[in-house]
Structure 1
Amino acid sequence: MPDIPAVPCPPLSAAEGRDDIRKEYVHLGRSDMVLLTSWWRREDGEFSLSARWPAPAAGLAYDHRMLTQTVRQSGLTIAHAAYGAPLSDHTVLSYFDFTVTPGFEVPPDTPCDLTVEVTVKNAKERGRKVSSLDMEFRILQGGSLVARADSEFGWLSTRVYRRLRGEHFTVDWNAWPLPAPVDPRTVGRNAPVDVVLSAGDGPRHWQLRNDVENAVLYDHPVDHVPGLALMEAAQQAANAALFPAVFEATTVTSAFERYAEFDSPCWIRAEVLPAASGETSVLVTVAQDGETVFRSRLSGPCG
């Protein structure tokens, strides 16, 4: 899952003690979407961060976009602040897996404070620069583990990234057609702007819609569909495939196989798979121009 780097700024000190979070380190243009408030080193390869989530929309136990954003922001912060990953490089994720404690919820009417513990399991270098970090994330609420995630963050120089992206290195932002959203209720959302699916040509088939008014997923112009937007599409597709039953995804595995572009339709399919007793499992595949760009398997209780 590539991500456009932020405006360069001097690296933070990695000395012990809490350091504030800068929006440049989490590659965001809007300060109100920075979910982290501070970070500190516990020991070599072990870090903690504080996070604050806004209250979820009415009817939601929690907003899983806050979970994926928190993991993304935590990994970027540790990479830039503690390991010196250059802000001029481009970040790439190949996979993003997470599990959530069944029944996890946050307060419905007030912000929620959480702690993120990060373990760097493996760090690789290319030349004298960090080239990838394999990380484990543990999210705690009031000292109790409520979610964990695993992902590997990698970096490409602008020269390499430009050569890799070719004609897609730049994009005419927000110039693509925006198809109508499906009913928000069917995908577990309240407002049309938060819906990333449009009706496809058959059951359990949709077209991806990239609505840049959805500031949670489209904070600033990028040259490809954001990876978190693809993960949101998988969540919504699983909900839609099982509607009107209520699905709670507690285990999610995701693989990013190719870049998803803005200039061609992305098609999404959901397949309900056999699962363990008491659980439901849905495989979601995103394809573009006949090539698979993203896969995700979501499992959890459904009722």
Structure 2
Amino acid sequence: MPDIPAVPRPTDAGTGDRGGIPGDYVHLGRSDMVFLTDWRCVEDGEFSLAARWPLPAAGLPYDPRVLTQTIRQSGLVIAHAAYGVPLDDQTLLHYFDFTVAPGFGLAPEGPCGLRVEVSVTEPKKRGRSVSSLGMDVRVLQGDTMVARADSEFGWISPRAYRRLRGEHLAVDWNAWPLPAPVDPATVGRPGPVDVVLAPGDRPGRWQLRNDVKNTVLYDYPVDHVPGLVLMEAADQAANAALHPTPFEATTVTSAFERYAEFDRPCWIEAEVLPAVTGETSVLVTAAQDGETVFRGRLTGLCG
């Protein structure tokens, strides 16, 4: 493991002082979006992090955007602080699968402290630099594991990223058309700013809407639609496909195949699949210019 300076820890870990994890280690500009408060290496390849979640909006047991952000942030902190991945390298998310304990929710009395345990698997190198890390992530509430994720992060140099993105690297931020959202109730979200779907041209099909006021998903200008936005779109599409029956996703698999651009329509489609008794499964795909950019499958409980 490279001998590099560790991320400074808060003086009072676990109190909610988000100053303990610098925003650049999680690629975020807003300090209130940094959900991690502390980290430490337990042993080679094993890490423990502290997280503090805000209360979810009324009616939600927890905010799925905060869960996926926490897993993302944990991977980035470990990559930069423990494995020496340069801060200016571009992050690639190859896949992101996770499960959530049925019935998981936060207590209503205040912000919730959680623990995140990470095991790094299959570190790969390109020359002397780490090019990808597989991660097994466990989120614990007290002594109970409430979520588990299996993901692989990759990194490429700024020069390689510029070659890869070409003309798409320059984006006129927030200049794209923003279609009206679907009814928030149909996607299980509290208000219009939280909705990433607009009505489509047929049932089971929606247009992705990129509203940068949704600061959990859009923290600062980037050149392509963030992967967590596509995961949120999958969750909302599954809810919309099953509405008015409530849906609780407990297992999610995600694969990212291409970059989704801001300046052209991206279409989200959901198909309810046969599943074992007592479960419901929804396949969600995102396509742009006739090419699939994302696939997700959400399985869980209805009713």
TM-score band w.r.t. shorter chain? over 0.9
Structure 2 equivalent of residue 249 of structure 1: 249
The answer for the alignment partner of 1:54 in structure 2 is 54
Give the equivalent residue in structure 2 for 1:4: none
In 1, the alpha carbon distance for the partners of 2:250 and 2:157 equals 35
* Counterpart position of 1:225: 225
- Which residue in 1 is equivalent to 2:17? none
Segments of structure 2 that go 5 or more residues without pairing to the other structure are: 14-19
Q: Distance in 2 between matches of 1:146 and 1:218?
A: 26
CA distance in 2, matches of 1:109, 1:276: 36
Cα deviation, residue 108, structure 1? 2.3
1:290 is the counterpart of 2:290: yes
Q: Which residue of 1 aligns with 2:16?
A: none
**CA RMSD of superposed structures (Å):** 1.7
5 Å matches for 1:185-264? Answer: 185-264=185-264
Q: Offset of 1:109 from its aligned partner? A: 3.6
- Could you tell me which residue of structure 2 aligns to residue 12 of structure 1? 5
* 1:239-275 residue CA offsets vs partner (Å, 9 max, x unmatched): 0000000000000000000000011100010000000
- Cα deviation for residue 284 of structure 1 reads 0.3
Match of 2:128 in 1: 128
Structural mapping, 1:9-158, within 5 Å:
12-13=5-6, 20-158=20-158
Instruction: Give the distance between the partners of 1:127 and 1:226, measured in 2 at CA.
Output: 28
- Paired AA for residue 153 in structure 2: F
Question: Identity, % of aligned pairs?
Answer: 73
**Shift in Å, 1:17:** 11
Contact conserved, 1:16 with 1:41, CA < 8 A, in 2?
Answer: no
The alpha-carbon distance between structure 1 residues 265 and 137, as it changes in their structure 2 partners (threshold 3 A), is same
1:41-98, Cα deviation, whole Å (9 max, x unpaired) = 0000000000000000001111111110000000000000000000111000110000
Q: Is the 8 A contact 2:9 2:21 kept in 1?
A: no
Residue 22 of structure 1 and its aligned partner are, at CA, apart by: 1.1
1:277 aligns with 2:277: yes
**SS in structure 2 of the partner of residue 248 of structure 1:** strand
- Number of matched residues? 294
TM-score normalized by structure 1? 0.94
Structure 1 unaligned runs (5+)?
1-10
Q: Which one is further off, 287-296 or 102-111?
A: 102-111
Q: Which amino acid aligns with 2:5?
A: L
- CA positional deviation for 1:15: 10
Matches within 5 A, 1:165-204: 165-204=165-204
> Contact (CA 8 Å) 1:17, 1:41: kept in 2 or not?
no
Counterpart Cα distance in 1 of 2:198 and 2:10: 47
Deviations 1:8-30 (A, max 9, x none): xxx53279999931111000000
Does the aligned pair in 2 maintain the 1:58–1:108 contact within 8 Å? no
Residues in 2 aligned to 1:17 and 1:196: alpha-carbon distance in whole angstroms: 34
Amino acid at match of 1:69: Q
C-alpha separation in 1, matches of 2:97 and 2:232 = 13
**How far did 1:125 drift?**
1.1
- Structure 1 counterpart of 2:186, one-letter code: T
Distance 1:198 1:161, change over 3 A: same
The answer to whether the 8 Å contact 1:17/1:40 transfers is no
How many angstroms apart in 2 are the aligned matches of 1:273 and 1:109? Answer: 38
For 2:261, the aligned partner's letter is: E
Q: Indicate conservation of the 8 Å contact 2:9/2:39, yes or no.
A: no
